[in-house]
Structure 1
């Protein structure tokens, strides 16, 4: 069953009518509802198109968090062959909020990182809702160092509300682990490509997204803190999250204008959750194009290009 967001109610009503007519036709062959179904499908598509043409930043936040949105594991399953999962940071423990491993992308060997939220309750608990602890970021550093040693490009699928803020994580050096992971991204002599596929939350996201090329799906968000967190700090009222989302410039369009990201990956009408295959294929194409840009480039030049990219953020804005 499809899950609808609150602002999608007009579409939900139309699609509900379509389902009722289909059930009626299945139960009684003498009833012809084909034309009516076709008309309602056209209306539903137009209603969906109208809604998604003018989404507010808060509505985009809701879409980015949609329960049916494809997760990092879906992208890995579809785009990576011969994937071998790597576990543990060799210092403390395994953190399943971060998927790390080696595989092949379109036939070429690569290293892969992904923040996995989980698709159901059990998986969400297993992956801690995509919120990594220090060992998750230290595992990412371990993979990046391995990738650099063997000249393997790195792909990161970013989707987290932020790093896990628990007491144990802080005791084990959460801030230091995030900083080391960010440093490891910057030190890579191989190209790395990061794609924000849902939420890009705070340092928890940038620890994997300090990349040669950073892309965002059309309805994803990327920010220093969640809108609810910002509203709680600024106004001591998390109910003002919608206002905060607008002020924070969290959308792909905002961040492209600010030169924080390199490009936007279009999503199917209604969001990536409505047609995951199309969204995942589009992400694969932009990753391939990004790696093609760095083909034959020396390690020194790869590092220099990445450095220039981040130093250029915020400069010469129109």
Structure 2
């Protein structure tokens, strides 16, 4: 038996990326920069404590949506005329609780059920940028103006991609967008097919209350570990990255600096929630707000894990269109936000 077969037979748990990164970073500090270790731990704990009220609210929102079945409301965005569906899909995408990973099987379900590509593209683009949890954490880390602007960017990018796709499909392009063999199952897809009513007072149902408790724990653990990693990395950035270098690259708020932030946001993105403190740190170091917005929006849509999932799901033409709309929308969001800040 090979080593790989032995590991598979042992059914070892899959390593957690955030926990591994936290452990490796702390060990590296202990071995090579012990003088920074205590300062980074103190910064991380203080930052987590500061964002804790927003974190708890965001956890309650996410867990409540699951326990009540409110995520099933998303299906209502895909009924009616296609032009109207695009607008509703962009709005629902920005407000829905689906993350960039969870939205993938939902997209497969929608397309396999015959929903037109244009509203699906609008939802696909808007959903990873903003959700209720993201809004609350953005409010806590970057402020109300940034949170509102990022929500508007999510809707705007969705509209750009949705109506752009609508124009192409009306011209006869982009037929059969899914790859061969892609079905409609998977996590999150059931909520699209669900016609069950939302139970807002879920705490009166023991099963739903138990679901709320499990979802709260899972969400708190997920957000907590990623935010801890983000604050740890932010402490290192503030300690070792010269503010002059940040200002020189993305600090003037011009078109070139926003373009650089857009392109860098694709491979550099760790996690939608982890990126918030990092961008806050970059802005403290001199990054222009518009560049920060472009980085967040571009990374949310086109981060490497999400892009790989899209590549596996959709045909090449649809994938290329997805990337094009994502980059164009991110760049436009950054430029408009920078102009608004200056005004």
Question: TM-score under structure 1 normalisation?
Answer: 0.25
Greater helix proportion: 2
Q: Which structure ranks higher in relative contact order (CA pairs < 8 Å, sequence separation ≥ 6)? A: 2
